[in-house]
């Protein structure tokens, strides 16, 4: 299948080939941008017609022609004035706007056949190397993600190195349509996104909030039981903080523009770590205090372009189960092992038992820290992975510029891999914030820091859970765990008493008293993915009992004692079956 970086290269090249095909079929079309994305690629165009499924088929056929011609991808370095002159002739206004943000006098371009595009690369060697691809859909997109700018047409596609991988992905997409969390979110009334508030900003409805708060409560208790200290930090901070951390220099494109407070620039935070380190620096620490483990369900905000926003899976504001550990170098390996086991146990609680593990190592260049620390950190991670006897892959050069990491990708019910969990060593921020501890000899020593997220963005994780379970969440996560249905109005008072008893025992229950036949009410409860239905008729009421239906197994249990049901429900909730 190739490694992650080469797959990105293949897909980015596919976007270029698609752009070449579009401009052959629609010579007056204008090019915007065309990157590789998580599961494929896209390219934005201005075209004087609305593209149809037939157009998509014709573009794909034209791409096949270009692939068969096996044009080499040729890298060109062209004087800026020449590029501008040619683009003005072709009236490529979007590319000209991009160039206006580039200061270099010589611009990087790539050519395949007669098609030339502004691009830094890299690309595959020749168009013939793209063998397995598929165009998927067309959507609208605003230029620069700004709804006040031009509306373009975005063509999405995907590409893989093998036919098997492509077929598997297309089959997964068919399954995913049935499990789309956006559809389930609307059906179950969990969340919404409103244009008056803005793209990528989630409105959690009452039932969705119950799911989110249940997950957050579980995570808080999990951290406390694993010797973490819970902290809470502001949503905004002065630019001074992000200058110290280096985020203004290295992460600025994902940060929102500053706001002025008393003539000083402030930002909504994209990360929690600078504030966590500020708390650490508030007092002196000795070697006896380490490791110090901070955890926060911190809400952060990152500027994602509108074209990549996708329900809960790609948002601009999200709550992260953020943890930062300050640890001495000699204890690094043990702390990574403890963190890894905690992560796996957490994922298993949510029902994820299959995962792929990657060790991402030092980039070839543009990294910070000394080689001795990199070697120690990478060896510590490798020792941990060898100790747990779980297979892993090396993502050579895939570490962040500030340290190596473990990435854990979970496999869902339809075989898709999701990146959620990460355990990352950091040499950078401890240096920038001058973090130290006092060793046994009374000297200042620089610790290591571990960034880690067990499930990552809670918003994204809920989206994954909804699709994994097709909306039929485990009982402990279900916003409504039990619904009570009466067969006739004579059972209303008994049902109300039953509802109160369930709620007093911590069960999230409701009573559907609608004047409708019992068959309709049962179907409605099943459609709402409520795990258990309690059915009350004349016989149940007279015997002070209930009949219960499990909507996941479709089994009905007649005339059960309510205390027996309570015990069974509480056991299932407590053990998170």
For position 568, which CATH number holds?
A: 3.40.50.800
* In a shared domain, residues 256 and 213: no
Residues 245 and 326 in one domain: no
- What distance in Å separates the CA atoms of residue 375 and residue 373, rounded to the nearest whole number? 5
Cα–Cα distance for residue pair 215/452, rounded to 1 Å: 17
Q: What domain range includes position 111?
A: 4-176
Q: What is the pLDDT of residue 1?
A: 39
In a domain, 562, yes or no: yes
Residue 475 is assigned to a structural domain of this protein = no
Is 477 within a domain?
Answer: no
Catalytic residue (choose from 44, 117, 321, 322): 322
Active site annotation includes 123 = no
Same domain, yes or no: 523 and 463? no
Same domain flag for 170 and 188 = no
For residue 10, the domain's CATH number is 3.30.980.10
405 assigned to active site: yes
Helices and strands (H and E) in the chain: how many:
18, 28
The token pair at 248 is 């203004």
Active-site entry in 11, 134, 223, 324: 324
Tell me what pLDDT residue 488 has. Answer: 92
Q: Is 476 contained in some domain?
A: no
User: Which candidate in 320, 481, 491, 541 is catalytic?
Assistant: 320
Give the active site residue among 95, 207, 451, 529: 451
Domain boundary among 176, 200, 216: 176
Catalytic annotation present for 320: yes
pLDDT of amino acid 368: 84
Residue 473 in domain: no
List the catalytic residue out of 112, 119, 273, 346. Answer: 273
The one catalytic residue among 179, 405, 460, 549 = 405
| C-alpha distance from residue 435 to each of 120, 284, 285, 432 (Å) | 37, 10, 10, 8
315, 452: one domain? yes
Same domain (yes/no): 228, 248: no
Q: Are strands 405-411 and 355-360 parallel, antiparallel or unpaired?
A: antiparallel
pLDDT on residue 174: 87
273 is catalytic: yes
Using the 3D structure, point to which of 176, 193, 212 is the last residue of a domain.
Answer: 176
Task: Verify that 38 and 165 share a domain, yes or no.
Answer: yes
Query: What pLDDT shows up at residue 355?
Result: 92
Q: Within its chain, how far is the Cα of 156 from the centroid?
A: 19
Phi-psi region of 200 (alpha: psi -120 to 50; beta: other; left: phi over 0): left
Q: Do 192 and 316 fall into the same domain?
A: yes
Question: Is 324 marked active-site?
Answer: yes
Which structure tokens are listed for 524? 């409605």
Residues 255 and 321 in one domain: no
Judgement on whether residues 198 and 229 belong to the same structural domain of the protein:
yes
Say which of 212, 302, 314, 452 is annotated catalytic. Answer: 302
Say if CB 76 and CB 105 are below 8 A apart. no
Please count the structural domains in the chain. Answer: 4
Q: Is residue 504 part of a domain?
A: yes
Average pLDDT per block of 10 residues along the chain, 577 residues long = 69 96 95 90 94 95 96 93 90 92 90 92 94 94 84 95 94 87 96 94 98 98 97 97 92 92 95 96 96 97 87 95 95 95 96 93 87 91 91 90 92 88 93 95 95 96 96 97 95 95 96 90 95 95 94 90 94 89
Q: What's the Cα-to-Cα distance from 182 to each of 188, 343, 396, 404, 420, rounded to whole Å?
A: 10, 27, 35, 34, 19
Task: Return the CATH number at 306.
Answer: 3.30.930.10
CA nearest neighbour of 531 among 464, 577, 563, 467:
577
Together in a domain, 493 and 448: no
Indicate if 95 and 116 belong to the same structural domain: yes
pTM > 0.85? no
Residue where a domain stops, chosen among 176, 191, 211: 176
Q: How many beta carbons lie within 10 A of that of residue 149, not counting itself?
A: 12
Distance CA(339)–CA(343), nearest Å, equals: 6
């Amino acid at each position: 299948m190739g490694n992650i970086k080469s797959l990105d290269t293949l897909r980015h090249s596919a976007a270029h080939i698609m752009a070449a095909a579009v401009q052959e079929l629609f010579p007056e079309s204008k090019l915007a941008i065309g990157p590789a994305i998580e599961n494929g690629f896209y390219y934005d165009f201005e075209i004087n017609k609305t593209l149809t499924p037939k157009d998509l088929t014709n573009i794909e056929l034209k791409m096949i022609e270009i692939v068969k011609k096996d044009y080499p991808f040729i890298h060109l370095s062209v004087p800026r004035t020449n590029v501008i002159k040619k683009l003005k002739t072709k009236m490529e206004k979007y590319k000209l706007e991009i160039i206006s943000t580039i200061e270099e006098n010589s611009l990087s371009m790539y050519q395949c056949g007669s098609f030339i595009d502004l691009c830094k690369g890299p690309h595959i060697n020749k168009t013939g190397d793209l063998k397995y691809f598929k165009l998927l859909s067309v959507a609208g997109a605003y230029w620069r993600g700004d709804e006040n700018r031009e509306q373009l047409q975005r063509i999405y596609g995907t590409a893989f190195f093998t036919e098997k991988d492509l077929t598997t992905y297309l089959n997964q997409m068919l399954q995913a349509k049935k499990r789309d969390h956006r559809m389930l979110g609307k059906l179950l009334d969990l969340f919404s996104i409103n244009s008056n508030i803005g793209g990528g900003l989630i409105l959690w409805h009452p039932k969705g909030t119950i799911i989110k708060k249940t997950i957050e409560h579980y995570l808080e208790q999990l951290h406390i039981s694993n010797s973490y200290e819970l902290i809470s930090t502001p949503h905004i901070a002065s630019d001074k903080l992000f200058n110290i951390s280096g985020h203004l220099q290295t992460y600025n494109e994902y940060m929102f523009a500053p706001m002025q407070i008393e003539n000083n620039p402030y930002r909504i935070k994209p990360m929690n770590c600078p504030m966590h380190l500020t708390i650490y620096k508030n007092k002196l620490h000795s070697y006896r205090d380490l490791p110090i483990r901070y955890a926060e369900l911190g809400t952060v905000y990152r500027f994602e372009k509108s074209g990549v926003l996708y329900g809960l899976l790609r948002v601009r504001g999200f709550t992260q189960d953020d943890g930062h550990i300050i640890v001495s170098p000699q204890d690094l390996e043990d702390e990574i092992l403890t963190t890894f086991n905690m992560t796996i146990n957490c994922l298993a609680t949510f029902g994820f038992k299959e995962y792929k593990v990657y060790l991402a190592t030092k980039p070839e260049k543009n990294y910070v820290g000394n080689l001795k620390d990199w070697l120690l950190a990478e060896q510590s991670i490798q020792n941990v992975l060898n100790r747990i006897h779980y297979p892993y892959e090396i993502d050579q050069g895939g570490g962040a510029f500030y340290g190596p990491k473990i990435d854990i990708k979970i496999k869902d019910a339809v075989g898709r891999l999701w990146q959620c969990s990460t355990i990352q060593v950091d040499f950078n921020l401890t240096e920038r914030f001058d973090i130290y501890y006092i060793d046994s000899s009374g000297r200042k020593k620089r610790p290591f820091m571990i960034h880690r997220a067990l499930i990552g963005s809670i918003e994204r994780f809920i989206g994954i859970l909804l699709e994994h379970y097709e909306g039929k969440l485990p009982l402990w996560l279900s916003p409504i765990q039990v619904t009570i249905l009466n067969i006739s109005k004579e059972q209303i008072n008994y049902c109300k008493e039953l509802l109160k008893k369930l709620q007093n025992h911590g069960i999230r229950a409701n009573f559907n008293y609608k004047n409708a036949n019992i068959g309709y009410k049962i179907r409605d409860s099943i459609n709402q993915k409520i795990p258990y239905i309690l059915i009350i008729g004349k016989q149940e009421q007279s015997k002070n009992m209930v009949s219960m239906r499990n909507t996941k197994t479709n089994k009905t249990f007649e005339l059960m004692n309510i205390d027996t049901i309570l015990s069974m429900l509480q056991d299932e909730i407590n053990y998170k079956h």
